[in-house]
Amino acid sequence: MNLISTVHGYPYIGDNREWKKCLEAFWKKEITEEQFNSKMEAIRLNHLKRQQELGLDFITVGDFTLYDRMLDHATMFGIIPERYSWIGGKVEFSTYYAMARGKSDVIACEMTKWFNTNYHYIVPEYEDRPLQLTENYILEYFIEAKEKLGLITKPTIIGPYTFVQLSKGYDEKTKASFYLKLLPLYVKVLQELVDAGAEWIQIEEPSLVLSLDKDDIKLVQQIYRQLVESVPSAKIMLQTYFEGLSAYEDICDIPVAGIGLDFVHGKEQNTSSIRQYGFPKDKVLGIGVINGRDIWRANLAEKATDVHAVLSISGATKAWIQSSCSLQHVPVTTKSETKLESTLINALAFADEKIVEITSVTSYVRDDAWYGNKRVSDSMKAIETLSQHKMRKNEKVREELSLLEQNHFSRPMAFKERQSLQKEVLQLPDYPTTTIGSFPQSKIVKETRKAWRQQEISDDTYRDFLEKETARWISLQEDIGLDVLVHGEFERTDMVEYFGEKLSGFAFTEKAWVVSYGSRCVKPPVIYGDIEWTSPMTVKEVVQAQKLTSKPVKGMLTGPVTILNWSFVRDDISHEQVANQIALALRKEITALEDAGIKIIQVDEPALREGLPLRIENRDAYLAWAINAFKLATSRVKNTTQIHTHMCYCEFNDFIEPIRALDADVISIETSRSHGELIESLKQDPYDLGIGLGVYDIHSPRIPSVEEIDTILKDSIQVIPKEQFWVNPDCGLKTRNEEETIASLKNMVKATHKLRKLQSYPVQ
């Protein structure tokens, strides 16, 4: 039996986020381009050495990025929108990062979710112009590993089918042209890698787990026949992940050297497909058996049994034992954690630990012997000990869930009737202006919070600082002219972590960072027990802010599905059960806010869509419980209490119905990079509740002009009635600096005032 251990990809951020710090130092011009390149090379090589030391047989290159891999591919192929004034040749960092972040005179490319993960990628924009191979960066990484470490690695590249599926700017008429221009460049990349000594090339095609029709299947077959015929010496591992492979029999007929399958999230379907159709004898089977998307220790005995079963039913004699997907979705190593209780830390496995699990399972299946002291029994004991933890035995929470009835999941009054009551109570002008919730987390805010957490300053000193910062920003918001204010969230590090710290059932790490987008890293909390509300979490701060102004101040909460999807979630009960536990806790917080006189409460659900199953046939079940969890949290408020929600980048064109089903009084949507598309969608399918389309992109440091926002507002009023129209940025402002935040919001308010004046005196 020929078995080797490998992973699709490895976290590129480093144990202490060295990658992020280097990138941001370069943006701030604290280091030169030469220093930046040198530091990034050192980080790359250290990651390869680490994987080698952990015992992987086959190490991957091309999984590293200087911002985002889809952006890397777009610039490598010369898919650069005309607005960036690129004239060909090597793409300079100024252009690359302008596409990612925008700059003063040009907007950034659109950003959206990578399948159903919390990672955001930059969407390539095809403009039907000639393409070119500007620079084969994957080849450079392969040669770098070969010459500096003596490693023959496995280069990885995002496949042409997935790349085009996730791009924009083409229709059915120009799609063929896109492929005709793109495929020769893929051929060139592959040939250069083979010529440099690459023995295997991994081509990632996660889009092959989506629902495929006959035309899709035919296209994929044509793509790979062309690639294999053009570079016959390339040994291609066609790698799929996140779900079971669609059109299994047809895809297996593609003349590639190997096919990788996910036996975690796609275990049932992939196993069934192999059992029904077999597996090609001439191909290597990639067995993705260790979960690349969670942080829980694997039962090694069970995983070894799974591998044996797959090998038995497939008849494969050559296989790669690997992660289910790239390990970029998990933190680097549990060795960085020193404060978690032993029961929990023993049950965790981050990227490094998962590699050890992969090599352990590989060696056992290959050699019929476990290596390492009690490795299998230790994994089983750790899992069992956690299952008996007292935090998983909260009878009060279980009883509350059992008593839920249907009327707990709906508002007692229809939107139009509520809207009339809310208008009378709130007395807001037409086109009310507001923000999403957070204001800049300045250096002094972060340093003061850090000093408090490290007990360098007293609780009173910290509380006094937060009160002064809140008061300052209430005053700034009034000066800017916003209609509905927020307290600024200066006490919060993260919109999920903050609530997790105040609810039972959560644990928190020190350095378990993962990338969300660009250099933005998050440290998801760990849901390991039953979740319970014990005391008010936000009431004091919001009430204090409300006392400082006559304008309404929103209560700010993170929704149950977002807390779920942006956490590492226990795997012993269903996600529906966990979401309902969170919803019950938030329901009590909302009641506390109402009792304190807060009339507008925002319950953000930016991650609602990202949890959507990739296969269409599985989506209705998810949406049913996810929408119900939001409604469980929000539906028992007074009719005069206005419920807001917010959503981040996603394809809203096909998600309007679930948004409507939430029955929130107002939704704000992050659409500044794809505003026109949503306008067109709303023309076809009008939205009948309150809605605020994000009028400028907060992920870019550029300040939008009044004229720019004015244009967006005038477009929006064509599809949104005045009674439903809200004006807001497209996301929270915590990552921006104060100067650009104030300038941008002032321009937003000025543009809104222009709109109000225009609507007051319509042209006859």
Report pLDDT digits (tens) over 136-186. 999 999 999 999 999 999 999 999 999 999 999 999 889 999 999 999 999
Instruction: Tell me the mean pLDDT in the region 212-224.
Output: 96
pLDDT at 621 over 50: yes
Spell out the residues 6+ positions from residue 135 whose beta carbon is closer than 8 angstroms to its own. 76, 90, 91
The more confident residue out of 322 and 609 is 322
Would you say 148 is a known binding-site residue? no
Would you say 73 is a known binding-site residue? no
At residue 764, the pLDDT reads: 33
Would you say 438 is a known binding-site residue? yes
Across the chain, what does the average pLDDT equal?
94
Instruction: Give per-residue pLDDT as tens, 372-413.
Output: 668 899 999 999 999 999 999 999 999 999 999 888 999 999
pLDDT at 215 over 90: yes
CB-based contacts of 713-717 (< 8 A; 24+ apart in sequence): 713/431, 713/751, 713/752, 713/755, 714/755, 715/675, 715/676, 715/679, 716/675, 716/679, 717/755, 717/759
Pick the range with the lowest mean pLDDT from 266-280, 338-352, 728-742.
728-742
Instruction: Give per-residue pLDDT as tens, 277-290.
Output: 999 999 999 999 99
Judge if 2-58+235-388 and 395-760 fold alike in CATH terms. yes
Distance CA 32, CA 39 (A): 11
At residue 670, the pLDDT reads: 77
Would you say 732 is a known binding-site residue? no
At residue 372, the pLDDT reads: 67
Portion of the chain with pLDDT greater than 70, in percent? 98
Helix (H) or strand (E) run with residue 634 in it: helix 619-634
pLDDT at 691 over 50: yes
Domain 395-760 has CATH 3.65.10.10: no
Instruction: Tell me the mean pLDDT in the region 588-614.
Output: 94
At residue 647, the pLDDT reads: 86
Instruction: Give per-residue pLDDT as tens, 55-109.
Output: 999 999 999 999 999 999 999 999 999 999 999 999 999 999 999 999 888 999 9
At residue 398, the pLDDT reads: 92
pLDDT at 442 over 70: yes
Question: β-strand 60-61 against 154-158: which pairing, if any?
Answer: parallel
Distance CA 518, CA 514 (A): 11
Would you say 18 is a known binding-site residue? yes
Residue found under tokens 């806790």: 585
Distance CA 295, CA 334 (A): 9
**Is the entire prediction scored with pTM above 0.85?**
yes
Residue found under tokens 């509740």: 689
pLDDT at 762 over 50: no
Instruction: Tell me the mean pLDDT in the region 581-592.
Output: 97
pLDDT at 763 over 50: no
Class of domain 2-58+235-388: alpha beta
Instruction: Give per-residue pLDDT as tens, 626-657.
Output: 999 999 999 999 999 999 999 875 556 678 88
Domain spans, the chain: 2-58+235-388, 395-760
At residue 679, the pLDDT reads: 80
699 noted as active-site residue: yes
Instruction: Single out the residue of 351, 320, 140 nearest to residue 238, CA to CA.
Output: 320
Instruction: Give per-residue pLDDT as tens, 111-139.
Output: 988 999 989 999 999 999 999 999 999 99
Portion of the chain with pLDDT greater than 90, in percent? 85
Residue from 47, 329, 575, 699 carrying the catalytic annotation: 699
